[in-house]
A and B are shown apart, each in its own frame.
Chain A
Amino acid sequence: MYRYNDFDHGFVRERVRQFRSQVQARIDGVISEDEFKPLRLMNGLYLQLHAYMLRVAIPYGTLSSAQMRALAMISQRWDKGYGHFTTRQNIQYNWPKLRDVPDILSDLADVEMHAIQTSGNTIRNITADHFAGAARDEIADPRPYAELIRQWSTDHPEFQFLPRKFKIAVTGSSDDRAVTRAHDIGLRMARGQDGDIGFEVIVGGGLGRTPVIGEVLREFLPVQDLLPYIEAIVSVYNMLGRRDNKYKARIKITVRENGIDKIRELVEAEFILRRASFGGADQELLARIKTAFPAPDFIDAPIANFKTALAANDDFATWVETNLSPHKNPDYAIVTISLKTLGATPGDATDTQMQVMANLAEQFSHDELRVSHEQNIILPHVHKSHLAEIYARLADVQLAAANVGLASDFIACPGMDYCTLATARSIPIAQEIAARIDELKIERDVGLLKIKISGCINACGHHHLAHIGILGLDRAGVENYQITLGGDATQNAEIGKRAGPGFPADEIVSAIERLLEAYLAQRTSRTETFLETYRRIGIEPFKIALYGDGKANHAA
């Protein structure tokens, strides 16, 4: 893992010092809220429905056990004993007090973390494949590049006041687990003609009010051109992006209004200018960063006890079936710890749970954890002989839910239970759907299914990219939920289609149940997934399941 050098430490400490004096100035009445707000947002501090919320960056979703322990400690000392992991691989604390925030930031700095650029119209936390460095289908670990971009984007003097926020994701695998096509810039590692590593550069993806799948701006970008090329994109956007309407300010609109060819022409011209300003230090830095991400020192040990445990313990075998992914070392597995236990809030972990996950990572996963954009925690490097013990210890703290990739493995934004932008709640809808699925005992029969819930049009819950997406709205003072179908977050990214009129809160769960029944009735075999069935038969049979025959097309 990357460790801070003196420069990183100095930078973060200086920012904590500055923010401490800014908070004091606000409390003392020296600066107004108008002046303070951009400053607190630059440091990840929002004011939400019931309290302040602090969003802490977890660069490319990677945590050491010491960092996870610190996150647990902070939740216990300064908050209400839990944290919420987000679709941007960050963690949010829902109850900090304004006066305490500088101390929280200081505690974060102790473990090489911060909350800088987790808000505001700037380049946000760089996200990456949560299986990076472990996945079998990977060209190379994308995290050194993500770290290079993190350093370049941190406090970048030109890009702290962009037209709108700017999100970058990186993957090193052909299976896209980082949703690169729904980011302002998506970077997909590729090999050039000589076998050298580079990136396919995708630009202008995004969700929100106007969902767009990104387009390829450059098919192959050599690694050494990474920073000047990204800097060219962001500077072109900074000059050209609209500032008159915040709903038209994201780069996806800039691309749409100017055309991808025009953007490419401007970027390539700017790139020439920018490249001359990089003298080679960036490549030396990249080389140093790479040494911080060595392949783990894999152990060579028998895995017979894993097979014994599989035969002896059905619950363990069930968990193994859903919560493990293939590791590049065949004696190892990637473990996904579900934060979607029945009754829990999707993405939440208590301080005790965070402690247990930290301990497991330290003992069994080469000291590493990952946060996935699907709001789960990953132990990336687990020798199979340790799986049974890990399972037992997770079960002790209600973290052994065997539902990864299944219907109750939701993405759900905080919704109106916390968020001041929300138009409806998300969390109770997720909890009620999970309860219904549990009652019906159909989850494993249904198989792979992505349900994603957003509490407003900003789409933090990625509902457009769900097989079944749910969007919570306010319809004349009542919570109402719209369904989209057929979205896909992978390398074959697709925006879901709206099924029709929304449902009130007390009808949405049954509506989802009818969709699952329709799928089970229509699929050709148990191996045909919901999405495959949808693509084969189209939306109509699902509309009929939702609205009855003949009602779908003329409902308001």
Chain B
Amino acid sequence: MSIIVTDSGFAPAGADSHFLDIDAGHPPTDLADELNNIEAIRIEFASFADGRGFTLARQLRLMGFGGRLRARGQIMCEQYAMARRAGFDEVEISDADAVRQPQENWLARANWAAHDYQSQLRRPSS
């Protein structure tokens, strides 16, 4: 089993969406033609030190992907804000990681929309 982390905390993973599983090095252009038909994408983080998944998520969003985007694997609670800002909706971690990094640590980053330089830079001009 695994745990899904969102802005409201932990929830057990359900059999809700049908995910397309890709690894963090997947070339997003491969999916360009079918993005509209994909319901949800799950990007695998093999190591918390490998930041490719954040850029891949941003690229998919920039290419117009509007479905659900989930980060799974080796992700630290300190990276939750990065994941959300990069375009992920949620993070999936193992039960063991959920014990090591309890819900309160993730909730402490649920204010990810605050203190975000990118939001200052990317608003439409006033």
Contacts and interface: CB of A to CB of B under 8 A. Distances in A.
Interface in A138-173: 151-152, 154-162
B30 to A, nearest CB: 13
B106 interface: no
A311 interface: no
A394 to B, nearest CB: 38
B55 A238 contact: yes
Interface residues on B, range: 20 to 34
B76 A35 contact: yes
A281 B126 contact: yes
A243 interface: yes
B116 interface: yes
B80 to A, nearest CB: 10
Contacts of B81: 157
Given A159-B51, A284-B125, A274 B62 contact: yes
B62 A239 contact: no
Nearest to A284: B125
A161 B54 CA distance: 9
B117 A239 contact: no
Nearest to A273: B62
A424 B48 CA distance: 33
Contacts of A280: 124-125
A545 B36 CA distance: 71
A282 interface: yes
A158 B48 contact: no
Nearest to A283: B125
A356 to B, nearest CB: 36
Interface string B24-49: 01000000000000000000000011
Interface stretch (A6-14, A378-386, A472-480, A490-498): A6-14
Contact of A282 (B82, B83, B115, B121): B121
Contact of A156 (B49, B115, B118): B118
Interface string A61-83: 00000000000000000000000
- The winner among A121, A152, A162, A281 for most chain B CB atoms within 10 A is A281
A151 B118 CA distance: 8
Interface residues of A, number: 37
Given A277-B122, A281-B123, A156 B55 contact: no
Nearest to B126: A284
A276 interface: yes
A152 to B, nearest CB: 6
B85 interface: yes
A284 to B, nearest CB: 6
A271 B121 CA distance: 16
Contacts of B82: 157-158, 160
B59 interface: yes
A156 B118 CA distance: 7
B117 A161 contact: no
Would you list the 3 A-B pairs with minimal beta carbon distance, nearest first?
A: A280-B125, A161-B51, A279-B124
13 contacts: A7-B115, A7-B117, A10-B114, A38-B48, A151-B121, A155-B117, A157-B84, A161-B50, A273-B59, A277-B122, A279-B125, A281-B123, A285-B120
Interface of A: 7, 10-11, 14, 35, 38-39, 121, 151-152, 154-162, 227, 235, 238-239, 243, 270, 273-274, 276-285
Interface of B: 25, 48-52, 54-56, 58-59, 62-63, 76, 78-79, 81-86, 114-118, 120-126
